Structure 1
Amino acid sequence: MATSTTETRSRRADRAARSAPPGGEPGSGRPARAPRTPRAGRRRDRPGGALHPGSLVAESGPFLRAALAPAVQRATAAGRRVLGPVASVVSPLGRLLIAAVVLLWILGTVLGWSEALVAALMGTLLVLLAIGFILGRSSYGVDLDLTRTRVAVGDRAVGSVSVSNTSDKALLPASLELPVGAATAIFHLPRLTPGQVHEDLFSIPTQRRAVIVVGPVRSVRADPLSILRREVLWTEPTDLFVHPRTTPLIGSAAGFIKDLEGLPTKELSSADVSFHALRDYVPGDDRRHIHWKTTARTNKLMVRQFEETRRSHLAVALSTNTNEYASETEFELAVSVAGSIGLQAIREQRNLSVLTQDGPLRTETGRNLLDDMTRIEGRAVRATALDLARTTADAVPNASVVFFVVGPEVTPSQLRSAAASIPPGIRCLAIRCVTDGQQSRATIGDLTVLTLNSLDDLALVLRKAAA
């Protein structure tokens, strides 16, 4: 019986083997699977072809960073927009208080220090109370008006701040701040009903030459301890130019150029205003310059010949090297002298060039000149008055008159060298600005040296120099 059973099983196995397709699994009736080949570019870090997770992260890292970079930037920008205004309202005292509160909370919690917990609670209450003082919105219409944006030293600069309530409800009293240079003016606003206007006047001292930034007007909300401080800007800043003080020079009697039409040179020309001689006519000459009386007498065409004239071009070289001045008052006097001479040249529509060690100034209009002179700052530099004279000679080779405006520390030998650096035929004058000393006039070679101790005497001194 056992033998027959074994034979039956062997016959079934033979039939299954004969019925299976080539390469199939015995008894399954399914074809055998082809061996799996790895894909190109896939790394196999372990035996058996398994992929290592670290390799996938390393390979996909650049793609992940590129995909996440915009999201990270947006999150960072959003954080700055949220935290920036919040951090700006916290004063230095508030930052110190918040840091102390956090430290006290940590010490009280970790060490079980009850006094620290009480102090931390009190500090937290102060911060919460301060937040209540800066909450809320104000709706103001603010107008900052300066009567003049350009004044001279010593003149009165007046302005006004007009505030109106543009909301439909009353506004509580508040404070406005107006920065004026390094100082700050405070205006107290009363309770304003809808549409009500409140105006305050103010004046700005102008004892010194400067460019004063006025504004912007800002409203301030703060707690009594100034832990938190919230500012809202309502206007744009305005520049107030305090020009150097100048004095008028009456006409050509001020004396820095005798010939209003220019100074003649040794170069000959066929057309100009300074007559020189007669010569024979040459084909191509302008027939308007034929001298008919001489032509009739000599029976030859004779034409006029002229000397070229140098048009009146005034050059002012202002030394800004503070080593050449004994005091700030002398330097300010030199700036005023240069500004007065330059303004007179512009009024008489002369060509003008004003130079300092820092470069040329704008001379298109008197306003541009004074604006640039307001920004002049004296500095101790290596460039001396002699270096400035050489720069002036290169920059303005066709000048008719050159003024050197210097301090008393410039020696006569330096002035002589400065005049020697100017091309021949150009008249040179030097003005030494002093506070302690007598006004005088001296001559060093072809250079006229004038000593001045008061701006009011500038016209008189120049008139004497022209005599």
Structure 2
Amino acid sequence: MSDAGPGSTDSRARRDRDASRSRTHTRGGRTQSRTGFDGGFATGTQGLTNARTRIVGDRSGPVADALVLAVRLLRSARAWLTRAFRAVSSVVTPVGWAVLVVVPVGFVVGYLLGWLELVVVAWAALVVLVVAGLSLIGRNAFRVALDIPHERVTVGEPAWGSVVVENPTRRRILGVSVEIPVGAGLAEISLPGLRGGDSVTETFSVPTQRRGVIRVGPVRTVRGDAVGLVRRELDWTGVTEMFVHPRTIGIPSTSTGLIRDLEGNPTRDLSPSDISFHALREYQPGDERRNIHWKSTAKTGTYMVRQFEESRRSHIVIALSLATADFASDDEFELAVSVAGSLGARAVRDAREVSVVVSERTPEFAKRKTLEIRSLSTLTRTRLLDDLAVVEHAESALGIVDVARVAGDRVAGVSVAFLVVGSTATLTQLRSAGLHFPVGVEAVAIVCDPEAVPGMTRISDLTVLTIGYLEDLQKSLARAAAT
């Protein structure tokens, strides 16, 4: 019996150590997961859609990594071959490729079969190719200038550019073809012959039906042979970027009825030191002596101190989701971008402290989702609209819940948070997104749905506004402020 006691004690001690080690490992795993979550690092494949998940799903290991590496190598090889083909095809036309095939085939078949006519055709094609190559030698002495009167326009507004071609020499220059890349399109202008010192100006239109950045230029002249086998492109100007801003609308001040700050009404939070007086109370240990109200103290015989209502400097957060899953159509996304631009432009005009954040994308071949947001420039209205002109939705972008989660953690001193999404975001998701902001923050979700009737819903501390057109934003905000 005396030997069994120590043995039993050792067994219990061993089990306790194992259990403690197991608990420590579990806590460490939770701590590591929490650190990864709060710090914006990898958080798992749940809800992630990128190239890797489309190839191997949520599988990992050497086989999955090898498959992903093979796909990446194939993509790189295809991109390199595409660039090489474009470089060659920019000089040789489809007719030129056909003639290049005729020459070796004609020589081989003609000499093997003794077909004299085919040999003659091959020699004639070879001579034509040589003459076409010689026609590309040399360079015209042009002076070319590209002018874009307005580098920033609103979507749908008319826009144009002009190109000026001048002959600075004394000799006459024959007619030339001028090409101007305009976004994905191409403007072609055929110029007449120019005598020495003459110049000609031609205008072209720039399509602005869609928001974005349109690259105009470089202006290039095209020289080629008479048959059309080869062509030589010479660039004369640089590239000019035209920003097509989203459509915005003037809205009432975002501070009316929503924000309480130094310029508006005080908050309901009490503070021992501020500018808005609230009431008097008895002195408590730790209160500052400078806040003692001596007249009231003399009347009551008890130390009385001033109590203030806390004033808050307004900080507006506008969170725009770029996740494809949060929008049912491109029209909804464009409306959401216009809403974010209207809210941000008004806040900048009101000289408010504003942060406009959008979803960040997870890299195509990343193994896990990354919690990141991107802040747009709010220095001026123009800078903000420039950044909004280039945002695009993506499958791998964070949804509105994750965007609100990161924004709530990283943006300090928030007074009002606007969450801009599409019609596919559920009320549960919106409520979850609103809960990620600190207590006391006015959260307003704006659902963009062109097919819906404008309305307002109140869910706990979250106000949900549904708009069908951009013009509905004015009345919806006024209604939310009134309630």
Q: Same fold (TM over 0.5)?
A: yes
Partner letter of residue 226 of structure 1? Answer: G
Q: How does 1:66-465 map to 2 (within 5 A)?
A: 89-109=91-111, 112-251=114-253, 255-257=257-259, 259=261, 260-261=263-264, 264=267, 266=269, 268-270=271-273, 272-278=274-280, 294=296, 304-358=306-360, 359-360=373-374, 361-381=376-396, 383-465=398-480
8 Å CA contact 2:260, 2:314 repeated in 1: no
| Structure 2: runs of 5+ lacking an equivalent | 1-86, 361-372
- Point out the structure with max Rg over C-alpha: 1
Secondary structure of the structure 1 residue equivalent to 2:269: strand
8 Å CA contact 2:416, 2:441 repeated in 1: yes
> 1:396 Cα shift?
1.5
Write the deviation string for residues 291-322 of structure 1: whole angstroms up to 9, x where unpaired.
Answer: 57547757999764434433100001111122
> 1:421 Cα shift?
1.8
User: After alignment, is 420-429 or 221-230 more displaced?
Assistant: 221-230
| Separation in structure 1 between the aligned mates of residue 266 and residue 417 of structure 2, nearest angstrom | 13
> 1:201 Cα shift?
1.4
| Separation in structure 1 between the aligned mates of residue 96 and residue 115 of structure 2, nearest angstrom | 24
Overall identity of the aligned pairs, in %? 44
| Separation in structure 2 between the aligned mates of residue 330 and residue 301 of structure 1, nearest angstrom | 61
Partner letter of residue 465 of structure 1? Answer: A
| Separation in structure 2 between the aligned mates of residue 227 and residue 205 of structure 1, nearest angstrom | 32
Write the deviation string for residues 97-148 of structure 1: whole angstroms up to 9, x where unpaired.
Answer: 2243134334444554423311211211321332354343211111111111
8 Å CA contact 1:218, 1:231 repeated in 2: yes
CA shift in 2, pair 1:277/1:284, >3 Å:
closer
CA shift in 2, pair 1:118/1:417, >3 Å:
same
Partner letter of residue 264 of structure 1? Answer: T
Partner letter of residue 250 of structure 1? Answer: P
| Separation in structure 2 between the aligned mates of residue 286 and residue 162 of structure 1, nearest angstrom | 77
Write the deviation string for residues 69-119 of structure 1: whole angstroms up to 9, x where unpaired.
Answer: xxxxxxxxxxxxxxxx99963335424422431343344445544233112
Partner letter of residue 449 of structure 2? Answer: V
| Separation in structure 2 between the aligned mates of residue 97 and residue 291 of structure 1, nearest angstrom | 101
Partner letter of residue 118 of structure 1? Answer: V
8 Å CA contact 2:260, 2:267 repeated in 1: no
Partner letter of residue 454 of structure 1? Answer: Y
> 1:397 Cα shift?
3.4
Query: How many residues are treated as equivalent by the alignment?
Result: 382
| Separation in structure 2 between the aligned mates of residue 213 and residue 93 of structure 1, nearest angstrom | 30
Partner letter of residue 345 of structure 1? Answer: A
| Separation in structure 1 between the aligned mates of residue 215 and residue 473 of structure 2, nearest angstrom | 32
User: After alignment, is 391-400 or 240-249 more displaced?
Assistant: 391-400
CA shift in 2, pair 1:387/1:86, >3 Å:
closer
User: After alignment, is 111-120 or 444-453 more displaced?
Assistant: 111-120
RMSD: 2.9
| Separation in structure 2 between the aligned mates of residue 177 and residue 88 of structure 1, nearest angstrom | 13
Q: TM-score, normalised by structure 2?
A: 0.72
8 Å CA contact 1:262, 1:312 repeated in 2: no
More contact order relative to length (CA 8 Å, sep ≥ 6)? 2
CA shift in 2, pair 1:235/1:292, >3 Å:
farther
CA shift in 2, pair 1:269/1:188, >3 Å:
farther
Write the deviation string for residues 303-350 of structure 1: whole angstroms up to 9, x where unpaired.
Answer: 644344331000011111222222211111111001100000000011
8 Å CA contact 1:416, 1:447 repeated in 2: yes
Write the deviation string for residues 242-274 of structure 1: whole angstroms up to 9, x where unpaired.
Answer: 11000011335865435544763636343x333
